[in-house]
A and B are shown apart, each in its own frame.
Chain A
Amino acid sequence: MTALVAGLAFVVALLAVLVIGLLRSHADILRALHDLGVGLDPSDAPGANTGPGPVPVPSPVVKTTAGVPEPRQGDAPGAVPTITGTTPDGGTAVVAISPRPHATLIAFLTTGCTTCAGFWQAFAGRVTLPGADTRLVIVTKGHEHESPAAVARLAPKGVMTLQSSDAWADFVVPGSPYFVLVDGPTGRIVGEGAAASWEQVSGLLDRAVADGALPLTGTDGAPRESVVRSAARREAEVDDALLRAGIGPGHPSLYPGAGDEP
């Protein structure tokens, strides 16, 4: 009986030593993980460790086609800034992005980029912007980087075009062409990225609409789709409509008596 008790006591002591060893080893492992900045508590916020900091996880390498910038690194702007700049005709403009009842697509382009050339051409014709009354604004860098004359030659009539290096900095634009889509009522950037063609940008917008980030109807509830047409295209369409109605050049109805001043 005594031998049995002694034997059991020995086994218990042995197990205790084993458990203590395991616990110490576990503690060493936890300490090592803590020193590496790896938290095991799901409630731990990033950066809450007092150790050396999180182990940086390399961002996935993004490969883009030639002429298309990689996605920007770093934080998006907080509140969407108002864009201020100069217009191709030498004027000054302030363009508010939010609060607005409509979305705004900001196209950051340059005059020398071959990929941008496709967009300048597309915007001079006719492009359809999904969403209710989405506004298109083109922004190049300022006079110190871009020739005002070159911008004036490319700026599509009827499309707000500004030169503003500040806007490029405010929106942290990595390169051109680059697009930022902003929801007007909330000022939230609902989509951004680089693209090699208008079809790719259109896909970005379509995804934003599908995700519910852009309303498809106007304030009256009717389906809306904003169409950006150059002034030349609009003029041609108006001419066609007038001719179909029998109103040609010189028709008296084309020369109203009222002037332009109020």
Chain B
Amino acid sequence: MNRDGPMIRIENHGLAADLPDGWDGQIFVRSGPEGATMPVLQAASFALPAEGGDFGGGAVEQMGDYDVFVALCEYGSDSVNTPLFSSSTLGGLSPDDFHTQALQRPLPPQCGTQQFVTIAGRAFCLYVVLGNHRLREHLVPAAEGVVATITVAPR
């Protein structure tokens, strides 16, 4: 990991991201189909629990109004370049992308968004949660600031 400067770069399993000062981050693997290992990258403006769900279960419940949660989860090779994962653009978030119903589990006043992409021959789902839907204009730049730094290396 690169610890120079105010941003801290976290990287592992071919995934990397720059975390702003005060953010937590984790990269771990989950078991996928046929024993494959599926990396998960999580970044949050609050304390991440030691054990939580891939899409923030156990973490998003701790979010405050001004908090942001980002998760990038890899899917199996059979998802690569399928219609759902046909986009190759990650990020470019705008406040209009976020909805209170686009959450794994509704937790008012939170809102979320998803993107399904194929990058470097790998299929991913990007899941971003904002602490308060009314503050999305303020929070989206913080989320995009992290998402824009995500890099993916081929397997």
Contacts and interface: CB of A to CB of B under 8 A. Distances in A.
Interface in A87-106: 87, 89-96, 98-102
**From B1, B11, B21, B57, residue with most partner A Cβ within 10 Å:** B1
Interface of B: 1, 3, 8, 10-12, 19, 21-29, 46-51, 53-55, 57, 64, 102-104, 112, 114, 127
A262 B102 contact: yes
By secondary structure, the B interface counts as loop
Nearest to A82: B8
B25 A94 contact: yes
Given A92-B26, A158-B50, A262 B114 contact: yes
Given A92-B1, A94-B1, A99-B22, A158 B49 contact: yes
A135 interface: yes
Contacts of B57: 260
A161 interface: yes
B47 A94 contact: no
Contacts of A160: 48-50
B103 A91 contact: no
A158 B51 contact: yes
A199 interface: no
A102 B50 CA distance: 16
B95 to A, nearest CB: 19
A100 B114 contact: no
Q: Is the interface of A mostly helix, strand, loop or mixed?
A: loop
Given A82-B8, A92-B12, A262-B127, A100 B25 contact: no
Contact of A262 (B8, B27, B49, B103): B103
Contacts, number: 84
B26 A93 contact: yes
Interface string A61-89: 00000000000000000000010100101
A25 B28 CA distance: 76
Contacts of B11: 92
A94 B24 CA distance: 5
Nearest to A94: B25
A28 interface: no
A101 B23 CA distance: 13
A87 B28 contact: yes
Contacts of A87: 26, 28, 50
A19 to B, nearest CB: 65
A261 interface: yes
A231 B51 contact: yes
A159 interface: yes
Interface in A155-214: 157-161, 166
26 contacts: A87-B26, A87-B28, A89-B28, A89-B29, A91-B28, A92-B1, A92-B11, A92-B25, A92-B28, A93-B10, A93-B24, A93-B48, A94-B1, A94-B23, A94-B24, A96-B47, A100-B22, A158-B49, A160-B48, A219-B64, A261-B55, A262-B55, A262-B102, A262-B104, A262-B114, A262-B127
A101 B21 CA distance: 14
B26 A94 contact: yes
Contact of B19 (A91, A94, A99, A262): A94
Contact of B50 (A100, A159, A219): A159
A208 B3 CA distance: 30
